[in-house]
């Protein structure tokens, strides 16, 4: 005859399977169900024993009649109002690929531009982002931070031309003209340059945050 411990193990294994299969039930509901089934097993085993079916055979009969714990859990999930069923949140597996995409978009331009191109390819082939986000990410990062350097260079060039502009009429027409030319539009980068630079630096970071916080599964499942 099987030992008492063997019977206990049969029961605890069964209840453990039930608990695992019902993992998406609200925890109070799940524990209530486990308690009810445990109580049933105790009652039924007692009845089996009274009928002469002692030992593990009785317990096995009881568990067999109860049916697979997975069936009970499935039934419980079907009977539960949908709102109470805990949908495991889509794993926030911002995976290596997604991180690479964003990093390449930001800094890939510094690798002879190729990195950025690879980043764009990864971005557009990813199922994670919507077309709107893909355009946003592509346009906010023309060549990523390499673009910022190119733009910075252009601005430096423009301000150089501006200073040339300011100096040459001054040379030609005399000292008073000097003032008008320094206040020309070309000096705007100098004044707002810092602000523009901030926007240019911050915008990619904001987009990066937006991309990485996008749920992995498309909305509206």
Partner 1 sequence: MEPGDARNVLTQLRRGTIEYCVLAVLAEGEEYAFELVRRLSAVDGLVTSEGTIYPLLSRLRRDDMVTTTWQESDAGPPRKYYRLTPTGRRALSGFTEEWTRFRDAVDELLVGGRGPSKGAQGGDRGQ
Per CB under 8 A, the list member of 26, 68, 152, 193 interacting with partner 1 is 68
Stretch near partner 1 under the rule CB under 8 A, chosen from 72-80, 85-93, 133-141, 195-203: 72-80
Q: Least distance to partner 1 from the beta carbon of 35, Å? A: 9
With respect to partner 1, which residue has the nearer C-beta, 65 or 86?
A: 65
With respect to partner 1, which residue has the nearer C-beta, 76 or 207?
A: 76
Rounded Cα distance, 87 and 20, in Å: 15
Question: Using CB under 8 A, which residues numbered 38 to 67 contact partner 1?
Answer: 39-40, 42-44, 46-47, 65-67
Report residue 32 CA to chain centroid gap. Answer: 34
Per CB under 8 A, the list member of 21, 33, 59, 162 interacting with partner 1 is 33
Question: Using CB under 8 A, which residues numbered 81 to 100 contact partner 1?
Answer: 81
Rounded Cα distance, 164 and 166, in Å: 5
Per CB under 8 A, the list member of 28, 78, 87, 213 interacting with partner 1 is 78
Per CB under 8 A, the list member of 59, 72, 123, 146 interacting with partner 1 is 72
Q: Least distance to partner 1 from the beta carbon of 70, Å? A: 10
CA atoms within 13 A on the CB side of 93: 6
Count of residues that interact with partner 1, criterion CB under 8 A: 25
SS (H, E, C) the chain: CCCHHHHHHHHHHHHHHHHHHCCCCCHHHHHHHHHHHHHHHHHHHHHHHHCCCCHHHHHHHHHHHHCCHHHHHHHHHHHCCHHHCCCCCCCCCCCHHHHHHHHHHHHHHHCCCHHHHHHHHHHHHCCCCCHHHHHHHHHHCCCHHHHHHHHHHHHHHHHHHHHHHHHHHHHHHCCCHHHHHHCCHHHHHHHHHHHHHHHHHHHHHHHHHHHHHCCCCCCCC
Q: Least distance to partner 1 from the beta carbon of 63, Å? A: 9
Q: Least distance to partner 1 from the beta carbon of 37, Å? A: 6
Question: Using CB under 8 A, which residues numbered 3 to 32 contact partner 1?
Answer: 29, 32
Per CB under 8 A, the list member of 4, 13, 16, 36 interacting with partner 1 is 36
Q: Which residues bind partner 1 (CB under 8 A)?
A: 29, 32-33, 36-37, 39-40, 42-44, 46-47, 65-69, 71-72, 75-76, 78-81
């Amino acid at each position: 005859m099987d030992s008492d411990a063997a019977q206990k193990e049969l029961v605890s294994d069964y209840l453990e399977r039930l608990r695992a299969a019902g993992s998406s039930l609200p925890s109070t509901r799940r524990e209530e169900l486990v308690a009810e089934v445990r109580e049933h097993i105790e009652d039924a085993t007692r009845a089996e024993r009274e009928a002469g079916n002692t030992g593990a055979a009785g317990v096995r009969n009881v568990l067999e009649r109860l049916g697979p714990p997975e069936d009970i859990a499935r039934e419980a999930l079907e009977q539960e109002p949908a709102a109470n069923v805990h949908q495991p949140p889509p794993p926030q597996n911002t995976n290596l690929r997604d991180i690479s995409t964003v990093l390449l978009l930001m800094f890939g331009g510094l690798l002879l531009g190729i990195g950025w191109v690879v980043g764009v390819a990864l971005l557009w082939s990813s199922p994670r982002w919507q077309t709107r986000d893909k355009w946003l990410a592509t346009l906010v990062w023309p060549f990523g931070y390499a673009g910022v350097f190119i733009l910075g260079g252009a601005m430096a060039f423009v301000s150089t031309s501006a200073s040339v502009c300011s100096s040459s009429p001054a040379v030609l027409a005399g000292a008073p003209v000097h003032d008008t030319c320094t206040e020309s539009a070309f000096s705007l980068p100098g004044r707002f340059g810092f602000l523009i630079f901030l926007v240019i630096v911050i915008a990619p970071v904001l987009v990066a945050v937006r991309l990485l916080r996008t749920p992995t599964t498309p909305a509206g499942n």
